[in-house]
């Protein structure tokens, strides 16, 4: 089942069901007005949503219409909680190596995670607005999950059942702002300004054999201005799988239904697969050549993030954001 939030002038949009091939959609706001309402009442609404999805895919859904990815918000246009991990230590290792820093041994046992801004997510085809190119505008292409209510102290083995939906993420990072913030010893704030998600969120069954309950074994493709930056394999070199990230986040708190947890930048030790962020490419250039050649985003640049199944079909739709100057 694939779900999306149609823009309707309201903060949370209207829930729609989208066909498996992403060509058709049908309203579902009579079942649950928004995706947040659906996730809060998941067991009650899933049968009706699934029935509507089945009818849509069979071509028998009343009121079906053409699905336009540019007309939807992120699946959750806003969320009560957005937590981003760093599951791929090959990313952390390379970026730290470029600045002459070793990776602490604690990183092998205790996942990195920050709590980001979630009161407004950028739409999958909306512009990314920043004041200045000098901020060092970068992307981080990731996978994310949406959970139902997760009790505090949920163990890793029990965490799988709380994963209800998956999405793609473009987590914008402002590389020239982040270092000064981290030096304060209090984490990110201004360095993480904008986050966009894929047009649709999908139930795990939509991934077929590529989903094992913990990770997705497919490449994630990133293009900048039509040129491929990379297609790292999401199922390889993932040190902390999603159940571990859930368990880590729930160590001292309950996670409310609609909590979004990101994987962090997908990254492989095999650098020939390319990259899911510019900073990692720059880091490799520093390690190999002594200086970075690749620049961060300029105004007018476009980034496209997409995942395809083994037959070449897009699973989540595409995140396609243009970088534009913010005008108050």
Q: What pLDDT shows up at residue 262?
A: 98
| 98, 287 contact by CB (below 8 A) | yes
Task: Give me the DSSP letters along 51-93.
Answer: HHHHHHHHT--TT-EE--GGGEE-SSSS-S-EEEE---HHHHH
Q: What pLDDT shows up at residue 92?
A: 77
The segments of the chain whose pLDDT lies below 70 read: 98-99
| 148, 257 contact by CB (below 8 A) | yes
Q: What pLDDT shows up at residue 97?
A: 73
- Rounded CA-CA distance 110/8 in Å is 41
Percent of the chain with pLDDT strictly greater than 90: 86
Q: Mind listing the domains of the chain with CATH numbers?
A: 2-71 (no CATH), 74-325 (3.90.850.10)
| 31, 45 contact by CB (below 8 A) | yes
What's this model's pTM, rounded to 2 decimal places?
0.96
Q: What pLDDT shows up at residue 303?
A: 98
Look up residue 138 and give its two tokens. 């970068």
Q: How far is CA 237 from CA 171, 178, 277, 323, in A?
A: 20, 25, 16, 30
Q: What pLDDT shows up at residue 96?
A: 74
Q: What pLDDT shows up at residue 193?
A: 82
Q: Helix 278-289 to helix 89-98 angle, to the nearest 10 degrees?
A: 50
Task: Give me the DSSP letters along 85-136.
Answer: E---HHHHHHHHHHTT-PPPGGGGTS--EEE---S-PBPTTSPEEES-GGGT
- Rounded CA-CA distance 144/234 in Å is 11
């Amino acid at each position: 089942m694939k779900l999306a939030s149609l823009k309707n002038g309201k903060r949370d949009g209207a829930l729609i069901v989208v066909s498996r091939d992403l060509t058709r959609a049908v309203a579902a706001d009579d079942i649950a007005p928004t995706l947040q309402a659906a996730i809060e009442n998941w067991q009650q609404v899933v049968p009706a949503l699934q029935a509507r999805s089945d009818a849509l895919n069979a071509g028998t859904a009343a009121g079906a219409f053409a699905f336009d990815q540019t007309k939807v918000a992120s699946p959750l246009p806003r969320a009560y909680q957005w937590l981003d991990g760093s599951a791929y230590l090959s990313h952390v290792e390379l970026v730290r190596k470029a600045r002459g820093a070793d990776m602490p041994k604690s990183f092998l046992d205790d996942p990195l995670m920050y709590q980001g801004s979630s009161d407004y997510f950028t739409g999958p085809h909306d512009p990314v607005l920043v004041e200045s190119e000098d901020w060092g505008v970068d992307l981080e292409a990731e996978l994310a999950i949406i959970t139902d209510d997760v009790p505090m102290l949920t163990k890793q083995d029990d965490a799988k059942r709380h994963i209800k939906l998956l999405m793609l993420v473009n987590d914008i990072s402002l590389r020239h702002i982040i270092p000064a913030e981290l030096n304060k010893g209090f984490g990110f704030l201004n360095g993480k300004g904008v986050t966009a998600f894929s047009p649709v969120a999908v139930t795990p069954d939509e991934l077929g054999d590529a989903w094992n309950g913990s990770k997705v074994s497919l490449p994630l493709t990133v293009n900048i201005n039509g040129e491929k930056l990379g297609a790292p394999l999401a199922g390889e070199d993932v040190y902390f799988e999603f159940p571990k990230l859930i368990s880590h986040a729930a160590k001292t708190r309950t996670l409310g239904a609609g909590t979004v947890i990101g994987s962090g930048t997908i990254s492989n030790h095999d650098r020939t697969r390319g990259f899911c962020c510019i900073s990692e490419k720059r880091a490799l250039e520093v390690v190999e050549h002594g200086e970075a050649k690749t620049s961060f985003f300029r105004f007018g640049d476009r980034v496209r993030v997409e995942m395809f199944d083994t037959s070449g079909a897009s699973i989540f739709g595409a995140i396609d954001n243009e970088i534009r100057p913010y005008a108050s």
